[in-house]
Amino acid sequence: MPHPETPTPPQAGAGRPPRDGAGDDTVAVVVRQWRSVLPGIDTAPMELIGRVNRCAALLQQAEEAPLRRAGLTRAEFDLLGALRRTGHDLSPGDLVRETFSSGAAVTKRVRQLQERGLLRRRGDTHDRRAALVSLTDEGRALVDRLMPEQLAYERSILGGLDEAAQRELCEGLGELLGRLEGRIARPVEGG
């Protein structure tokens, strides 16, 4: 049996940095590495933002997620969901605002989802230069089927956190998001 201070060799595969402590996540390992290279550096921002980014990436890659099984990305589902939850046709500009995506990304997603028969695009009767996007019956049925499945999947992921921890995390992230939306997403007046 190795001495408790003797590091264990990393396991082959996985492509992750070795974890040298119980309960460590990948970001904790990266933080320790930075602290050894630059002692005294304040890594607090990296610890929070790194974990948010890592959680988002892992959730996007999860093969068992209902969206992935349906062949949809989260961004595509968000676009379909925007059409479903608003309850009316939207212009590509509306979809940009509703999904926090670029115009080019929305155009690409609309084209791909239209090719799959999940939405349709038609000219606006009031402005021939504009287009409106709407769900097809198949698109609406897919969103209605996937939404409860995706929420149940997300609920199971959060199952390891009690309600108080979930509420606290939600409030903290909501506060951060509000600040970021106010600072980054909107143009700065007079600047």
Report residue 3's pLDDT band, with 50, 70 and 90 as the boundaries.
very low
Q: Can you spell out the DSSP letters for 29-98?
A: HHHHHHHHHSTT---HHHHHHHHHHHHHHHHHH-TTSHHHHTT--HHHHHHHHHHHHH-S-B-HHHHHHH
For the chain, the domains span: 67-151
Q: Of the candidates 164, 73, 65, which has an alpha carbon nearest to the alpha carbon of residue 118?
A: 73
Q: Is the pLDDT of residue 175 over 70?
A: yes
Query: Which of 13 and 175 is assigned the larger pLDDT?
Result: 175
Percent of residues, the chain, with pLDDT higher than 70: 82
Secondary element (H or E) of residue 107: helix 103-115
Give the pLDDT score at 62: 81
Query: Which of 33 and 61 is assigned the larger pLDDT?
Result: 33
Q: Of the candidates 149, 119, 123, 162, which has an alpha carbon nearest to the alpha carbon of residue 137?
A: 119
Report residue 113's pLDDT band, with 50, 70 and 90 as the boundaries.
very high
- Arithmetic mean of pLDDT over the chain: 84
Name the class of domain 67-151.
Answer: mainly alpha
Q: Is the pLDDT of residue 134 over 90?
A: yes
* Contacting residues for 92 by C-beta, under 8 A, at least 6 apart: 103, 106, 107, 110, 131, 133
Over residues 139-150, mean pLDDT: 96
Among left, alpha and beta (phi > 0; psi -120 to 50; other), residue 45 is alpha
Secondary element (H or E) of residue 99: helix 92-99
